[in-house]
Structure 1
Amino acid sequence: MISSKGRGFVYLLHPTPELWTLSVPHRTQILYLPDISFISAKLNLTPGKIVVESGTGSGSFSHSIARSVTGKGGHLYTFEYHDQRVEALKNEIELHNLSEIVTLNHRDVCKDGFDLENIADVVFLDLPAPWEAVPHAAKALKKSIVGKICSFSPCIEQVQKTALALNENGFFDIQMFEVLVRSHQSKQLILHDIQSAIDGKKVTFRSNKGRKRPISSVDSDNKPPLNDDHNSNNIESKPTLADLPDPKSENQSEISILASRFEDSARGHTSYLTFASLFSNQ
């Protein structure tokens, strides 16, 4: 978009959950794109899914969930216990036109539960004590399908307690992951074959050998000057273009490869992701 006086311009970007994650006001620690993408894929978040989230926080992951489940009756029920964060989230949900897809609840699910039963395909927990919410999550998951749960925990002790609670409440296939991003710098490199490298060294050697050494003052006083014939017979001539390897010859070949290396800086630990499944046909 060009300015009214034509002296400048700005790019207008279509709003996406990814941009919101990069610019969201940090009321709490948020989930970033590597964890968000892995969780979304692991839980198979697709249009039509019903998701229950507890620990809305700043709403970073909530926006990604809302986009993933939009369509075919998909919905997000998200819970936050902090009253000031709830008010800020309500304003953002209305401003971003997510009211029909997202239902925000002010509730401490660890003590009071979700007040939902047999409704969710997926439950996501981002809580200080997620093991306290596991029994309530089991009630919220649908009984007719294999329900999925994910817990986001920074400390391994939280993972241990959550895994025990999942096992006690009938969950199976309990797995824990850690997402670490390693960025690469890549570029094209040209590799020469051995013969062309040897030929290049030969040319360099002959070029250095053919150079005249400066005559010292002592040598110039004791030795007579050499005539032209003597010079021409004893000093090897410099290499010519004919001595260079022929780039079209069979021995002169090049191979182009793509090489990469790790960047020096990398984002460290963010959290442990604990996944489990539940099937209770009752």
Structure 2
Amino acid sequence: MAPTTRTCVSPFLDPGPRTKANSLAIVQLSRDNLLPVYLQVPNGEHDGYAEGAVVNTRYGSFPHSTMLDVPWGSQIRASKVDTGSRGRKRKREADDQACREATAVSEKDEEPSAAGADRDGAAAVKQAVADSSGFVHILPPTPELWTTSLPHRTQVVYTPDYSYILHRIRARPGSTLIEAGAGSGSFTHAAVRAVYNGYPAEGQRKGKVFSFEFHEQRYQKMKKELSDHGLEGLVQLTHRDVYSGGFLVDGKSPEADAVFLDLPAPWEALPHLSRRRPQDMADTDGAAAGNGQQSWVSPLNPRKSVYICTFSPCIEQVTRTVSAMRRLGWVDIDMVEIANRKLHASRDRVGLNLNFDRGVNNSPRDVEEALARLAEIEARSREQAAKPRDADADEDMDLADEVGAPAKGNEARNGEHAPSTEETSTATAPWMEGRLITRGEPEIKSHTSYLVFAVLPMEWTEQDEAAAAAKYPVGKEQKVIGAIDKAARKQERRELLQKQQGGASRKARRKERDEKLGEISG
């Protein structure tokens, strides 16, 4: 039987230049408000809308027909949709049911005209009419956008965390990765993109993610999402408790190159991630202990070093995890905490002479401007007090204060004329005025957890030692930095011995000469 080839690639891996029907798209309502939508082909009335499936937002209504076959990143205008008929939908259901029962007998007679009925149903779809305001943008699905918009079933691993994790565990195209604790699937989608190098055919090894989830409902929802996203060939999801069941798939080893554990107690799953059966596991499992080491199958790649990362929110969990790693032979153990923060850069425009500009803090920029404004107000007060009061003058003065018109005594500091808004805008561009400041985002989208990294080296057997000794013989290195030449080494030892003997003879002659000089002087 020939292996089946997949014709449709996941939109997360190759979305194409335009939107497609029956595929996932991300609708961007605002900078931080994203909505995942599965686009549908309009086929008659849907949920009471004559335009077919409709996405309702606070920015307007958007039929799916307006979002199909458009370039990614396009701006979609809102449409005029009749929302009043949806309230009468349920009232019509009883009458529609009676009509369907009455016409059920004549269905066979209408079979020859099924094609015409389909054409009539397609023609019955109402054409969307653009509204006067409201728009959204439609974006292709990526792991980053999916992390922001996915339905939360558990606390998710955000982009700052999983990007660093995938870098440290060396996830690359063609790697095999084990993930325990699929949760909402944020890390799963990012890991698939990191290891993807094609859909595997029968008997072929490609980059793949072996994901494990203990919770039944989360497992079912995750399985449906992977199927809808076209990732079922790249992610093998298993419903299992890895604490007791381990990481084998269908009794075979995944031969993983990288491991990510998002578990409450990762130290209980670590004994299954070993090259050989741990002693404590052999003692607890009597049947396996009786079979010996031959029954043990490691889920790790025996030909490479394996990199692992555990995700724990408490330092007590980190302590127990590190202790278990040391007992099981993991090395290069390191703990990292990621604190990611976005900064928003803008210009702070402050001044009393910028009354009509947007984004301006209408307050004195310094003490001198405040004193000048106070002096101006006092001068105007004295001028108004010296004039005879009448109603018209009071109204004009109040109107001038409300409008914010500059007074004739509005001089700049040190008696100079203060530049008006028009003069300032001609000299400097508005976006270049004011001080450049940065503000941090109010909410940091990142986990406050600890990441523990470690490496399990490849097991070095006697055959590997013999092969390495044959390839790199000790004592016969030539043309290599740091090579050892036995003849040269013997010569060096001979010269060193001669120097030592010569030094001793010189000392003896010097002692003999000193003794003779002592006898002569005596």
Give the TM interval when normalised to the shorter protein: 0.7 to 0.9
Richer in helix (by share): 2
Q: 2:305 aligns with which of 146, 154, 157?
A: 146
Equivalent residue letter for 2:437: A
Cα distance, 1:151 vs structure 2: 0.5
| Equivalent residues of 2:170, 2:307 under 8 A apart | no
Q: How many residues align?
A: 255
Deviations 1:4-25 (A, max 9, x none): 3332465332122223222323
Tell me if 1:276 matches 2:454. Answer: yes
Tell me if 1:62 matches 2:240. Answer: no
Cα distance, 1:126 vs structure 2: 0.8
Q: Which residue of 2 aligns with 1:129?
A: 265
| Equivalent residues of 1:151, 1:275 under 8 A apart | yes
Gaps of 5+ in 1: 191-196, 216-237, 246-253
Q: 1:102 aligns with which of 200, 225, 235?
A: 235
Tell me if 1:178 matches 2:311. Answer: no
Q: TM-score, normalised by structure 2?
A: 0.42
Deviations 1:138-164 (A, max 9, x none): 343323322110001111111110011
Gaps of 5+ in 2: 1-65, 67-76, 80-126, 199-205, 276-298, 350-365, 387-408, 419-431, 461-522
TM alignment of 1:1-282, pairs within 5 A: 1=66, 3=79, 4-8=127-131, 10-71=136-197, 73-115=206-248, 117=253, 119-139=255-275, 140-188=299-347, 258-266=436-444, 270-282=448-460
Tell me the distance in 2 between the aligned counterparts of 1:154 and 1:142.
29
| Equivalent residues of 1:184, 1:262 under 8 A apart | yes
Bigger Cα displacement from structure 2, 258-267 vs 159-168: 258-267
Tell me the distance in 2 between the aligned counterparts of 1:45 and 1:175.
18
Deviations 1:43-88 (A, max 9, x none): 2322111101111122121111111111162100111122232222
The alignment partner of 1:152 has SS state of strand
Cα distance, 1:98 vs structure 2: 0.5
The alignment partner of 2:267 has SS state of helix
Cα distance, 1:90 vs structure 2: 1.7
- Higher relative contact order (CA closer than 8 Å, sequence separation 6+): 1
Tell me the distance in 2 between the aligned counterparts of 1:275 and 1:114.
19
Equivalent residue letter for 1:35: D
Q: Which residue of 2 aligns with 1:221?
A: none
Identity of aligned residues (%): 40
| Equivalent residues of 1:180, 1:267 under 8 A apart | no
Alpha carbons of structure 1 residues 178 and 108: separation in structure 2 relative to 1, 3 Å: same
- C-alpha RMSD of matched pairs (Å): 3.8
Cα distance, 1:243 vs structure 2: 5.7
Equivalent residue letter for 2:182: T
Alpha carbons of structure 1 residues 261 and 26: separation in structure 2 relative to 1, 3 Å: closer
Bigger Cα displacement from structure 2, 42-51 vs 267-276: 267-276
Tell me the distance in 2 between the aligned counterparts of 1:240 and 1:170.
78
| Equivalent residues of 1:118, 1:143 under 8 A apart | no
Cα distance, 1:118 vs structure 2: 7.2
Equivalent residue letter for 1:119: E
Cα distance, 1:281 vs structure 2: 2.6
Alpha carbons of structure 1 residues 127 and 244: separation in structure 2 relative to 1, 3 Å: same
Equivalent residue letter for 2:138: L
The alignment partner of 1:48 has SS state of coil
The alignment partner of 2:137 has SS state of coil
Which structure's CA Rg is the greater one?
Answer: 2
Tell me the distance in 2 between the aligned counterparts of 1:37 and 1:81.
25
The alignment partner of 1:22 has SS state of helix
The alignment partner of 2:273 has SS state of helix
Alpha carbons of structure 1 residues 137 and 61: separation in structure 2 relative to 1, 3 Å: same
Equivalent residue letter for 1:66: V
| Equivalent residues of 2:158, 2:445 under 8 A apart | no
Equivalent residue letter for 1:89: M
Equivalent residue letter for 2:270: V
Equivalent residue letter for 2:458: S
| Equivalent residues of 2:176, 2:254 under 8 A apart | no
